[in-house]
């Protein structure tokens, strides 16, 4: 999805930067995944990785985050909500 969005932007605008092209984007994503995978694995192995689908609506994402925070025992006042 990200790549197709960037490809469309490049086609429509001619690219905002000299390196704003599909090849550079793919390389950036490879580097990002290579650098973040160990961190994700670390937290996953310890049962501390929680995944939220950020493509959902703002309300759905907020609700998912609130559910995770409630599950792990974060006090509501620390989450910006009313104290229970």
What local confidence, expressed as pLDDT, does residue 80 receive? 63
> Of all residues in the chain, what percent carry a pLDDT higher than 70?
80
Question: Per residue in 22-43, pLDDT tens?
Answer: 788 889 889 999 999 999 999 9
Cβ-contact 75, 81 below 8 angstroms: no
Q: What angle do the packed helices 2-13 and 22-45 form, to 10 degrees?
A: 160
Both tokens of 49, joined, read 């990785």
Q: Is residue 78 very low, low, confident or very high in pLDDT (cuts 50, 70, 90)?
A: low
Domain ranges of the chain: 1-47, 50-84
Mean pLDDT score of the chain: 84
Question: CA torsion sign, 39 to 45 to 47 to 49?
Answer: positive
Arithmetic mean of pLDDT, 52-81:
87
- Which band of pLDDT confidence, cut at 50, 70 and 90, is reported for residue 84? very low
């Amino acid at each position: 999805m990200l790549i197709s969005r960037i490809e469309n932007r490049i086609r429509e605008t001619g690219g905002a930067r000299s390196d704003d092209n599909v090849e550079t984007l793919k390389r950036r994503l490879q580097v990002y995944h290579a650098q973040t995978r160990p961190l994700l694995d670390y937290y996953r192995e310890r049962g501390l990785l929680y995944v939220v689908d950020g493509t959902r609506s703002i309300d759905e994402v907020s609700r998912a985050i609130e559910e995770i925070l409630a599950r792990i025992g974060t006090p509501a006042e620390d989450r910006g909500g009313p104290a229970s």
